[in-house]
Amino acid sequence: MNVSIHNTLTRQKDVLTPQTDTFGMYCCGPTVYGPAHIGNFRTFVAQDVLRRTLECSGLKVKHVRNITDVDDKTIRESRKLGMTLGDFTKKWEDKFHLDCDRLNMLRPTVEPRATEHIAEQLDMVSKLVANGHAYPAKDGSVYFKISTFADYGKLAGLDREHMATQSTNSAGEVNNADEYERESVSDFALWKGRKPEDGENFWKSPWGEGRPGWHIECSAMSTKYLGDTFDLHGGGIDLCFPHHENEIAQSECATGKSPYVRYWFHSAHLMVEGQKMSKSLGNLYTLDDLVAKGYTPAQIRYALMSGHYRQQLNFTFKGLDDAKSALSKLAKSVKAALERAKMSEADFKKLIAPKNNFAGTIFEPAWNALCDDLNVPRALGEIFGALPKLDGKSEDIAALGSLLYALGIDLSSEAQAEQPAADVPEEIRQMAQARWDAKKAKDFAKADELRKKLTELGWSVLDKKDGFDIKKI
């Protein structure tokens, strides 16, 4: 069965077909100035499930996800701490990678950094100036003139009234990406002339010293690695306008090719306990925050997948508890089925792979749900509905393995989460869990440091194939 998604550009459900033998997929990555929060990860998890589902359908996927390592926020925060931009952003990039690994997300095929693609960005800006779609300003900035692009607004479906400004995004939030003077409030920055607050964070250009605008970064990097026209572009709904709208305008005007992207994949916002996430409310949770409360990354990932990607998700602690119960039930059902089939856990792990082996199995309806606009909630419902029929048939077990791959569900973490004895203090259990996560992420220095701390506190950790045991020394 072919995979379809709701295409923001066409406003209908479209079957995803690659232009070539490889499906090209670009996703807007993190701006690395602090830890990513669960709202960010909702989008990244949805993109991860889409990629995995495409792979299970038989497609080869080239997944490009950028790192925004230069913008107003990265410069401001790095200078505040007295760190070089490179050292500052590397710290938060590493943290992002660690969290993605803990959430069992596949690493992208290519992960370009904005600062390493200045030449490509300058080349694109130069083309836009040369063909009359952009103009330099007195301060050395360069702006895209949207009046030269007749199709501006086609992605977000904007009317003329809303096209008059770049001050708010498609989620109704304030957009501060273009704070510089320009001929028209509708125009946006391609290149930003150097300001005193930029410090030493600037590059030379034909228009003077400065740095790239946010929008041009993604256009330059996506076309470099995927071509002038590629298959799919993903991001949160807040990026639809102006970021993705601006990407379309500058890319199609620079290359002369249309469409820039064939399918647009946008994820809805996340609420926490019915409220918008904010620092003032204390609900801007990171992965570490939730792990410290006793939840595993697998449970957090499950909760983030519990709502359809196009619908606003209300993330709650009850939802996390439900995720814990669901994963425990799933792990026990799999264990029982393996025992009936006389199959080892190691053998089952080999079946957690991107294979299209669902036809005629009890899990075919779950696979069909995934293929139909990535309906993860329905797919999960179909999985649990089929569990009572899971009697040890090899084809059903193999299909379940492929579904677990598509969803990125790691049951081994649930098995080990139940290993510690009841009398182990919560803080010790959490420390042991953090060590296990670090080891899985190949951060062996951190794993060794945590083992040493546990030993000093009087606890030993014994690693097993699928987890660990904690014992009092």
Does the pLDDT value for residue 342 go beyond 80?
A: yes
CA angle 384, 408, 338 (to 5 degrees): 55
The stretch 100-104 carries a mean pLDDT of 95
pLDDT classification of 426: cutoffs 50, 70, 90: confident
Question: How far is residue 136's CA from residue 133's CA, in Å, rounded to a whole number?
Answer: 11
Highest mean pLDDT: which range of 126-130, 184-188, 424-428, 442-446: 126-130
pLDDT classification of 165: cutoffs 50, 70, 90: low
> Could you give phi then psi for residue 359, rounded to 5 degrees?
-55, 125
The stretch 430-451 carries a mean pLDDT of 87
User: Please, which residues bridge with residue 314 across strands?
Assistant: 271
Pair 144, 190: CB distance under 8 Å: yes
State the residue for tokens 């991001």.
Answer: 235
Q: How many residues does the chain have?
A: 473
pLDDT of amino acid 416: 47
State the residue for tokens 């572009």.
Answer: 233
Question: How far is residue 401's CA from residue 387's CA, in Å, rounded to a whole number?
Answer: 13
pLDDT classification of 438: cutoffs 50, 70, 90: confident
Per-residue pLDDT tens over the stretch 195-238: 999 999 999 999 999 999 999 999 999 999 999 999 999 999 99
Instruction: Show the DSSP H helices in 32-168 as ranges.
Output: 38-56, 72-80, 85-102, 118-130
Per-residue pLDDT tens over the stretch 184-194: 778 999 999 99
315: buried, middle or exposed (CB in 10 Å: 19+, 13-18, 0-12)? Answer: buried
Per-residue pLDDT tens over the stretch 64-98: 999 999 999 999 999 999 999 999 999 999 999 99
pLDDT of amino acid 160: 54
Does the pLDDT value for residue 163 go beyond 80?
A: no
The stretch 346-367 carries a mean pLDDT of 96
Q: Taking the domains of the chain in order of start, what are their residue ranges?
A: 4-267, 272-413, 419-472
Per-residue pLDDT tens over the stretch 252-295: 999 999 999 999 999 999 999 999 998 888 899 999 999 989 89
Work out whether the CA dihedral 459, 465, 467, 469 comes out positive or negative. Answer: negative
N- to C-terminal Cα distance for the chain? 55
pLDDT of amino acid 418: 42
CB atoms within 10 A of CB 426: 11
DSSP for residue 388: G
Work out whether the CA dihedral 347, 352, 357, 360 comes out positive or negative. Answer: positive
Please state whether beta strands 12-15 and 4-7 pair in parallel, antiparallel, or not at all (unpaired).
antiparallel
pLDDT of amino acid 468: 79
The hierarchical CATH code for the domain 4-267 is 3.40.50.620
Average pLDDT across the chain, whole number: 91
pLDDT of amino acid 420: 41
Per-residue pLDDT tens over the stretch 28-38: 999 999 999 99
Question: How far is residue 107's CA from residue 224's CA, in Å, rounded to a whole number?
Answer: 19
pLDDT of amino acid 179: 47
- Whole-model pTM? 0.85
- Provide, rounded to the nearest whole percent, the portion of the chain with pLDDT above 90: 78
Does the pLDDT value for residue 59 go beyond 70?
A: yes
The amino acid at 204? K
| Torsion-angle region of 472 (φ positive above 0: left; ψ -120 to 50: alpha; else: beta) | beta
pLDDT of amino acid 185: 75
CA distances (Å), origin 184, targets 161, 165, 187, 253, 382: 14, 9, 5, 19, 53
